[in-house]
């Protein structure tokens, strides 16, 4: 199957927050009990903004690893391959929003280091306002959320113009890894192997593996595996489709191979993961 399976076109299960096209709040709450949702390489159909207010961690964006610390803002446009690792001692806020909510969102990933106290307060205040609007659900909610989300875009563009962008040095190796990341987001739900990607990029699997490891500490195969695993776990967190269909949608040769894949990387069967997700939902 070359197209993206139906379940991957739907919005991810929201973090603990009111339902709607926009979600925001504490990153720790969003990741609670399901660190894999952020720690595994994946892309989303929404924009994602991370605002680190305490501590430090790491992000991998399109195959390039960066350190993030207090007062770092990371913006990830829809379709960006990424993962986030923040320890429990770190604190962060997030906003997830549709890419078409405003035309002024940046179109490329951003890593902003915000040193100005007023700019820090503006971002925290805007996120708090969006969270409050979602919780109170007053009249004209959609208009309010759209306006405040547009202010986030204005804030980011202002920070770029004022020199807060922390751009990584681009090399031939990082360009190759970024091209690989783009291909993974496009084709991970197929039967293509890492060697097939290397061939399409006109490099050897050994070279692709080496540059990926240098760029982000993961091999090319690791990146592809994590993207498939993330998609599988998202599907298994829902009651449908059937497990056999999930296996087919993700390009596995057979349900048995899919089961071995899940067991090798989670220690549980697909059925067990689905039951656990169902039990968690009932408890919630």
- Which one is predicted more confidently, 281 or 12? 281
Q: Encoding tokens for residue 142?
A: 């959609």
Cβ-based neighbours of 231, under 8 Å, separated by 6 or more: 5, 8, 42, 188, 189, 250
Tell whether domain 6-161 is in CATH 2.60.120.280.
Answer: yes
Q: Which CATH topology does 172-283 take?
A: Arc Repressor Mutant, subunit A (1.10.10)
pLDDT at 279: 76
- Per residue in 43-54, pLDDT (tens digit) is 999 999 999 999
Helix (H) or strand (E) holding 84: strand 82-85
pLDDT at 21: 87
Helix, strand, coil tally for the chain in percent (to 5): 50, 15, 35
Domain boundaries along the sequence of the chain? 6-161, 172-283
Rounded to the nearest angstrom, the gap between the alpha carbon of residue 249 and the centroid of all alpha carbons in its chain is 20
C-beta contacts of 137-140 below 8 A and 24+ residues apart: 137/18
Question: Is the separation of the CB atoms in 102 and 68 below 8 Å?
Answer: no
The pLDDT mean for the chain works out to: 92
pLDDT at 226: 98
Structure confidence at residue 1 as a pLDDT band (50, 70, 90): very low
CB-CB neighbours of 272 under 10 Å = 14
DSSP 3-state of 167: coil
Pairing mode, if any, of strands 64-69 and 56-61?
Answer: antiparallel
Distances (CA, A) of 190 to 29, 37, 246, 265: 33, 21, 12, 19
Cβ-based neighbours of 275, under 8 Å, separated by 6 or more: none
CA 131 to CA 94: how far, in whole Å?
10
DSSP 3-state of 143: helix
- Per residue in 122-177, pLDDT (tens digit) is 999 999 999 999 999 999 999 999 999 999 999 999 999 999 999 888 999 999 99
Question: Is the separation of the CB atoms in 226 and 83 below 8 Å?
Answer: yes
């Amino acid at each position: 199957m070359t197209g993206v399976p139906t379940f991957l076109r739907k919005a991810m299960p929201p973090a603990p927050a009111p339902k709607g096209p926009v979600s925001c709040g504490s990153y720790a709450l969003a990741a609670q009990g399901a660190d894999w949702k952020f720690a595994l390489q994946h892309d989303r159909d929404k924009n994602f903004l991370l605002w680190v207010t305490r501590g430090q961690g790491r992000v991998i964006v399109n195959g390039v690893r960066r350190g993030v610390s207090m007062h770092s803002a990371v913006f990830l446009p829809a379709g960006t391959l990424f993962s986030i690792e923040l320890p429990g001692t770190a604190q962060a806020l997030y906003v997830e929003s549709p890419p078409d909510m405003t035309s002024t969102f940046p179109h490329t990933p951003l890593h902003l280091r915000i040193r100005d106290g007023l700019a820090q307060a503006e971002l925290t205040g805007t996120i708090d306002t969006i969270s409050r609007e979602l919780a109170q659900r007053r009249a004209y909610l959609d208009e309010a959320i759209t306006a405040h989300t547009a202010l986030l875009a204005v804030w980011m563009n202002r920070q770029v113009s004022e020199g807060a962008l922390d751009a990584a040095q681009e090399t031939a190796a990082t360009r190759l890894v970024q091209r690989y990341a783009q291909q993974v987001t496009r084709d991970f739900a197929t039967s293509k192997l890492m060697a097939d990607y290397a061939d399409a990029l006109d490099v050897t699997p050994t070279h692709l593996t080496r540059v990926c490891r240098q760029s982000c500490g993961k091999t090319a195969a690791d990146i592809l595996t994590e993207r498939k695993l993330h998609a599988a776990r998202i599907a298994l967190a829902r009651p449908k489709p059937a497990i056999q269909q999930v296996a087919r949608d993700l390009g596995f040769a057979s349900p048995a191979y899919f089961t071995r894949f899940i067991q090798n990387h989670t220690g549980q069967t697909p059925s067990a993961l689905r039951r656990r997700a169902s039990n968690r939902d009932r408890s919630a």
